[in-house]
Structure formats: structure tokens, C-alpha cells
Structure 1
């Protein structure tokens, strides 16, 4: 059967926007951290800045999703890219104390979730239903590419031996922010007209969460993204405990990122063979098993193989969670469901590491991976028995 034709007039700027967003926002946060260090900010204030980025947008996400359901996601995308650009310029040219850095960091976080919520919904506008998973695979590869290019940009613009980035990184960030605004404009111009009835409210939150399988998908997605962060944060600690040098740890984490990107290339073909409920169940269970294995000491070659396995499985699980959320949520409430997914993920990324730090202090870093791995395996089982075929 011939592949369905894709709307590249929309998909092209959408993919560019996804890559630029994943380059500019993390890079801006890294540069802001360096600015805070230069200003001798205490660690408590750095923690508050992190919370401003991650937590403040949570209180707006459901309202953003409901607005997208009623009026379309084009306005949200455009407002989001403008907020991101203004925040990046503000952090460079205006922010000079804790209060102004806090304000522009919060603006950056709000702009990011606005763009992400809009882009994920836009993937359904680039093709008919049969092409949605193919488009989503392209979208997730674009975001993975952004994750690779951001640190590379920092390395290329910082002179060898310097402990802090110089002004060139700010000029590069400003240029990419303007490119993000232009790609956002092109994307919104190509977006098909929203057909929803602006007088009809999307489903209530309670009603939406009672959709068969949706709550488990949201919880699984939150645990997956949190596990991803915990691996990045605690794997170097585990490596140090096992006598693995920092350079090797960096190589291993890079291999994991490459494996995750590879899984996104294979996503749509695997969905055709296995189906989304089966694929997410297998991905969660296998990722959980591999993650739990970090609790045990193993040879370096096996450690690298298991780590790459977590990247591959988690990449598929996250892709499935997005696709299934879009597929099983009522069509008039898709944006609200996606916003709930982002809300659950942000809360998990904030709350679970607090408990993980306590567990690590008491039982060692390997214990974290055992607990998170068990949770992922349980989620895999729950998804299998509760998610309708999509």
C-alpha cells in the first residue's frame, strides 16, 4: 500500500520549530546557570529558578489545552514562540538580578509548554489518520536532534579552556530565537483552519480521565520522563561508585541518546507490526527490566549495552504515550488530554527526584534504578490490560 501523502508545507516548519525549540530552551537554561554562578547566587536561589521554569507553567497547562480545543493551536504556538524569544533576549539584555532572571526564566518555561502543547497537536494536522504515527516519528526525531545540537553549540562557541561561555553564545541564541519565531509564523500560516465549535467546551477533567486507558497512559508517561531524568542525573553517581571515569560515562550517555533517536526512526514501522498498546507495554516492561539491572554491578560492555537498551525502549514508550493519548482521547478534548500529559510529566519530574535523592542517600544510587525499574514494569502490565486498541 502506498504511503499517505504528508502536508510538508506544515510539517517542514513544524519539524524546524521542534528542533529549534529543543536547542534554544535548554541552551538558554545552561547559559542562565552560568550567569547565576557568575553572580554568586546561592544554591537555594538556583533551585527556585529551576522551579520557576518547571512548576509555574503547570498551573496554566489545562487552560492552554482547553483553549486549543476550542480555538485551535495556531495562536498558542505563535504566542509561545514569541514568549520564548522575548525570554531569551531578556535573559541576555535585561536580566541583571535574581528577580529579573526569575521573571524571564518563568516566561521561558511558559513559552516552552505553549509551543510543545501546540506542536504535538499539530502533528495530527499534517496527514490523515493513517499517517499520524509516521508524522509523530518525524517530530520526535526532530526533537532528539535538538537535544544533540544544543550542547554542541555550547562547545563550538566557547573558547578552549574558558570556564564560562562568552558573548558569542548569546548572539547565537538570539539568532536561533528569531529563526524560531519565523518558523512559527510559517507553521501557523500553513495550518488548516480549525473546525471546532468555539461555543462547545471540551470534556471536563474528571470525564476525560475516565476515558478507558487514558489515566494509565498519563501516569506511565510521567514515570517514563522522570526515569529519563533520573538516569541522566544519577548514572554519573553510579559510575563514580563503580570506578568509571567521567569521560566514559559521557560516552555511555551519548550512546543512550543515539539509541533513543534510532527508536524514533523505527516507531511507525513497529506500530504497524505490533500495535500501539502492545508496543508501549513491551517498551515499558523491557525498559523497566534494563533500568532495574543497574542495581547490580556488571562489566563495562554490558553496562553500555543495557544503558543503550533503556534509551531505545524509553524512546519508543514516550512516542507511544503521545500517540495513544491523541488516539484514545475524545477528539474535542485532544489538546486538553495532551496538556494533562504535560502536567503529569512536569509534576513527576519535580516530585519524584526529591524522593529519589532520599533513597539514594539511604541505600545507594543503585537502589533508585531498582525502584524506578519496578515501577516501569508495573506500568507496562497496567497499560496492557487497560488500554483499548488504537
Structure 2
């Protein structure tokens, strides 16, 4: 019988392929329906608005050993989201599909991350969070090239995007089927271990030393990934990039994240956890800010790959950081608090980025994103220096 971790990674990887590809297609569909940079910012925020309300309840459900149910509901929600986008005829229907897609993403990620502390010893967190995020990156790397595969044909246009969406619906269905495997049930031993200790409120968890900087670092990295994925198609149109070129750039970013996550445990032997956490935001700030200055697609690909490498380090390390700050009974809730911060950032920051794009142009969004990454690096450095 396949192990629970192999099944979890398989379903998560398939789901991530769906989420990544469909989000890029939503940007193109919004442009087809007459949207602009501000519209893209609103849709990016809507992707996180409903999940912002659902994150903590989902985390509590996972802490109560309902991880399998939350995971299955998330996978099934992804199927319905893709179907909604397929049949969208305007921005309102596209917005509804975007909200469903964001909810499906949140539920699958909360549950997938919650499995690790429920089913693993603390000493295995880095390895398993790293392994899980490798599969997340593999899914992201596989999802975007499928768009290129269909869009590279002559005169493909909108029909190719629709065909890609149907492929994504099938992948989401397969992920749902994998999530139903009995091996993903939470064992009684894991349930009893998770029950140790009192439940902490959100305020209590946020008051824990190091929690707010960890959440801030995580939300800035994830929001930066979202902003670059959402605005690169618009940036590319301005400089004559084809859909294939944009998807290659995004694939390079995701592939670089795979590499860094694959070697995470080795890198932890060579460098301190503190400096790897700081590098996750610091070393990606300048490449992202420089994209408008050097719009050559080869250079942009290199910048995005460099940023992706360091973003790949930041995500699993902040998961371990957050999970280690609370008792076993609250680890999934703490991870969902991290995701709540991510979603809050994905609501507020894209709206701000949309306003920036509307007044100063798309180039300013990349400079704005670089500034956010630099501020997160400073916050992480201060927090980790105080705890030494």
C-alpha cells in the first residue's frame, strides 16, 4: 500500500498544477472580457477573500484529526472551480470561479501542511515540509507548460485556453480520487498526540515571540509569487512576449524552487537556519525590482529563476518556524494562521498593486514587490537576532 506521505504529495502536486495553470488563464480570460491591470488586482484579491475567513476554522478541523475530510473537500472544490471558469462568459462568473479556486487551494494546503505535524516527529518537519513543497513546486512547474503546449499551435487563441481548462478539470478529478485513499486517514495514535495541550486562540498564537515576523515573511513571499504570476502576462504583452515565453519564465521560477527545496536539508548543514530564512526574501528583492529595467526575456527568466530559488527556501522553513512555536494541539491551527496571514496579504497587497498599476503602470508593481521583499528580510533578521 502506498504511504500516506506519497499519496499526500501526489494529490497536492496535481492540485497545485491545477491552481497555478488556472490562475494564469484567469488573467488572460479577464483581458479577453475587457479587464485591465486593476481588474487583475481585484481578481487576485478575490482569490483569497473567502479563504481568509475559512483558514482558521479549517486549521481547527485539522487539529481535531479531520485532515482527510478537509483535504478531500478542497480537491473537490478545485474541480467545481475549474468548471466554473470554463463556462464563464463575463467578469462576474470569472470572479466566482476565482473565489472557488482560492477556497479549494486553501483547504488542500491547510490539510496537507497539517498532515506533517499530525503524522511526523518534530525532527522530521524540515524533511517532510521540504518534500511536500518540492511536490508543490513540481505541480506548479507542470501546470504552466500545459498552457504553452496548447497555446503554441498556430491560431489557437481562446480555444486553446478552454482546452487547457478541461485538462485541468481532469487533473483535479484525479487528485480528488487520490485523496479518497484509506491510507490518508488520520491514525488514532496521531489523534491522541495532537490532543496534547490546551487550544490557543489566534491572539495568543500571534503574541508568541517570533510568530508575527514568521507570518509576515511567509505572506510577502507568497504574495510576491502571486503578483509576478498575475502581472507578468500584462508586462509581457507590453514588450511582445508570447504566451509561450511567459509560461517558460514562470516555469523557470517554479523549477528553481524545486531545486532549492530538494536540497534544503543539505543546505541546512552548510548554512544556518537564520541566514537561509533571511535569504528567502533578501536575495529575491533586487531581481524582482530590476525586471522593468531590463525587459529582455532571457534576463527576466534569470531574475525570476533566482527569485524562485530563494522563495523555495522561505516557504518550508517558515512552516517549520511556525509549527515549532506552539504546542502539538495547535500546530495545524498555527499553520492555518500563517495561511490566514498569507491570504490577508493576498487581499490587501494585490489591491494596492492594482492601484499602483492603474496610476504608475505595470512596471511599478515589480518595484513595489521588491520593496516588500526587502522589508520582510529586515523583519526576519530583527526577529531571529533577538532570539539568539
Question: Which SS does the other structure have where 2:156 is aligned?
Answer: coil
Q: Show the counterpart of 1:315.
A: 312
Q: Note the C-alpha offset of 1:374.
A: 3.6
Match of 1:176 among 155, 168, 171: 171
| Shift in Å, 1:145 | 1.5
Contact kept in structure 2, 1:72 and 1:196, CA below 8 Å: no
Aligned twin of 1:69: 63
Residues 187, 88 of structure 1: CA spacing in aligned structure 2 closer, same or farther, 3 A cutoff?
A: farther
Give SS of 2:157's match.
coil
**Residue aligning to 1:112:** 105
RMSD (Å), alpha carbons? 3.9
1:230-255 deviations in whole A, cap 9, x for unaligned? 333445666777x6755766554443
CA distance in structure 2 between the aligned counterparts of 1:300 and 1:88, rounded to whole angstroms = 30
- Whole-angstrom distance in 2 between the partners of 1:192 and 1:320: 26
Match of 2:49 among 42, 45, 55: 55
Report the Cα distance in structure 1 between the residues aligned to 2:373 and 2:124, rounded to whole angstroms: 29
How high is the TM-score relative to the length of structure 1?
0.80
Q: CA–CA distance in 2 between the matches of 1:360 and 1:201?
A: 46
Mapping of residues 232-311 of structure 1, within 5 Å: 232-234=229-231, 245-246=241-242, 251-294=248-291, 296-297=293-294, 304-311=301-308
Find 2:115's aligned residue among 122, 147, 154.
122
Structure 1 counterpart of 2:7:
13
| Unaligned 5+ runs, structure 2 | none
For residues 264-306 of structure 1, give each alpha carbon's deviation from its aligned partner in whole angstroms, at most 9, with x where no partner exists.
Answer: 1121221233333331013322222433444655988765544
Does the 8 A contact of 2:78 with 2:100 survive in 1? Answer: yes
Q: Report the secondary structure of 1:55's partner residue.
A: helix
Give the Cα–Cα distance (whole angstroms) in 2 for the partners of residues 89 and 240 of structure 1.
Answer: 27
Give 5+ residue unaligned stretches, structure 1. 1-6
Residues 53 and 108, structure 1, Cα contact 8 Å, conserved in 2: yes
Cα contact 1:22–1:150 (8 A) shared by 2: yes
Deviation at 1:215, TM superposition (A): 0.5
Higher relative contact order (CA 8 A, sep 6+): 2
Please state how far the C-alpha of 1:229 moved relative to its aligned partner. 2.5
In structure 2, the partner of 1:337 is: 334
Aligned: 1:209 with 2:206: yes
In structure 1, how many angstroms separate the alpha carbons of the residues matched to 2:95 and 2:233?
A: 29
What is the aligned counterpart of 2:192 among 174, 192, 195? 195
Aligned residues: 381
State yes or no: 1:221 paired with 2:214. no
The corresponding residue for 2:128 is 135
Which sits farther off after the overlay, 356-365 or 334-343?
356-365
Question: Is the CA contact (8 Å cut-off) linking 1:234 and 1:365 kept in structure 2?
Answer: yes
- Cα deviation 1:77-131 (Å, max 9, x = unaligned): 12222333344456668x7887776655544432321111000121335543222
In the other structure, the counterpart of 2:77 is 83
Q: Shift of residue 336 of structure 1?
A: 1.6
Residues 230 and 255 of structure 1: CA distance in aligned 2, closer, same or farther (over 3 Å): same
* Secondary structure class of the residue paired with 1:328: coil
Q: SS of the residue aligned with 2:3?
A: helix
- Give the TM-score taking structure 2 as reference length: 0.81
Q: Is the deviation greater in 120-129 or in 101-110?
A: 101-110
